[in-house]
């Protein structure tokens, strides 16, 4: 049995291609940008291009895409949205209108989509085609992958490649030898962001480093990291010799 499981968060989506013939740690895993982050980047591109935005599609998770739409409006540009797309920002369309987003019908959206100064963006939570393309990079497909195949083939291991289980086993070993508690690979991103802030980098510099869609996303991200005293950083510093 195979199951494609996707946990969509604010910044990333965690993807597990579960195969019941394998142990869990040997199932392919990926971390990719969340759909709301992708939408936020596209809105940001429209802001920089000084275009109005038309949002179509379905009701999806908010967060970064909502912040990007707000920033787009503050920059003096217009945001149009079909009813389903508009409910991403609030269940009540009158509240969406009050926020500055103009709710339009499907027919009005078709007219707007033909304008050169309007960026058309489809709202959706799942980019299955992107996941399939990522697997296709290693000549893998959701339909045709063998139960023991790795998504990271490597000639150094007779073509077997490193499995996600091997990677996480190594990571757990490194953390244990450093005297640190078990953690996921995302802790490396957290560490890089916090260390850069600790040595004096601005929020803008950290935002560019993390490739966030907006400063608002980075501000929330750093607030979570810096909001409470983290005594574990002493052990981290000792482990890496700083």
**87-136 pLDDT per residue, tens:** 999 889 999 999 999 999 999 999 999 999 999 999 988 777 777 777 67
Q: What is the pTM of this model?
A: 0.55
Cα separation, 237 vs 164, in Å, equals 27
- Same domain for 30 and 42? no
Q: Report residue 168 as tokens.
A: 């996480």
φ/ψ bin of 211: left (φ > 0), alpha (ψ from -120 to 50), beta (otherwise): left
Residue 169 maps to a domain: no
Mark whether 75 and 102 lie in a shared domain. yes
pLDDT tops 70 at residue 165: no
61 and 116 share a domain? yes
> Residues 42-49: what's their mean pLDDT?
93
Half-sphere exposure in the Cβ direction for 191 (13 Å, CA): 15
pLDDT of res. 147: 52
Q: Are residues 42 and 102 in the same domain?
A: yes
Same domain, yes or no: 30 and 40: no
One domain, residues 151 and 185: no
Q: Which of 31-45, 86-100, 228-242 has the lowest mean pLDDT?
A: 228-242
Same domain, 111 and 220: no
CA distances from 226 to 125, 193, 218 (A): 29, 10, 12
**Segment of 84-88, 172-176, 181-185 carrying the highest mean pLDDT:** 84-88
Final residue of a structural domain among 162, 187, 222: 162
The predicted model gives 193-214 an average pLDDT of: 82
Co-location of 24 and 65 in the same domain:
no
Q: In what order do the strands lie in the sheet with 12-19?
A: 2-8, 12-19, 29-33
The band of 206, judged by pLDDT with boundaries at 50, 70 and 90, is confident
Number of structural domains found in the chain: 3
Closest-CA residue to 29 (of 186, 154, 215): 186
Position 78 in a domain: yes
User: Is residue 171 in some structural domain?
Assistant: no
Report the percent of the chain where pLDDT is more than 70.
Answer: 76
Parallel/antiparallel/unpaired status of strands 102-103 and 79-81:
parallel
Q: Establish if 62 belongs to a structural domain.
A: yes
Count of CB atoms within 10 A of residue 170's CB?
11
CA gap 12, 232 in Å, rounded: 24
Q: What percent of the chain has pLDDT over 90?
A: 30
CA distance 27 to 153: 14
54, part of any domain: yes
Examine residue 221 and state whether it is found in any structural domain, yes or no: yes
| Residues of the domain holding 201 | 178-240
Is position 229 within any domain? Answer: yes
Question: What are the two backbone dihedrals, phi and then psi, of residue 83, each rounded to the nearest 5 degrees?
Answer: -55, -50
């Amino acid at each position: 049995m195979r199951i494609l499981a996707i946990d969509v968060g604010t910044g990333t989506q965690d993807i597990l291609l579960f195969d019941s013939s394998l142990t869990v740690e040997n199932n392919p895993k990926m971390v990719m940008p969340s759909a709301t982050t992708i939408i936020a980047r596209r809105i940001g591109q429209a802001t920089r291009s000084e275009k109005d935005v038309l949002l179509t599609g379905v009701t999806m998770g908010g967060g970064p895409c909502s912040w990007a739409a707000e920033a787009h409006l503050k920059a003096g540009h217009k945001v149009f949205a079909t009813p389903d797309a508009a409910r991403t920002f609030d269940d009540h369309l009158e509240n969406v209108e009050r926020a500055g987003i103009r709710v339009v019908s499907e027919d009005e959206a078709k007219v707007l989509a033909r304008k050169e100064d309007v960026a058309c963006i489809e709202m959706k939570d799942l980019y299955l085609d992107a996941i399939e393309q990522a697997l296709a990079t290693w000549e893998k497909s959701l339909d045709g992958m063998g139960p023991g195949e790795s998504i990271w083939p490597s000639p150094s291991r007779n073509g077997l490649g490193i499995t996600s289980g091997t990677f996480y086993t190594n990571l757990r070993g490194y953390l244990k030898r450093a005297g640190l508690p078990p953690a996921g690979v995302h802790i490396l991103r957290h560490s890089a962001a916090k260390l850069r802030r600790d040595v004096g980098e601005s929020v803008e510099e950290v935002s560019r480093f993390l490739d966030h869609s907006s400063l608002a996303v980075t501000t929330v991200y750093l607030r979570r990291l810096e909001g409470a005293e983290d005594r574990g950083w002493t052990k981290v510093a000792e482990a890496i010799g700083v």
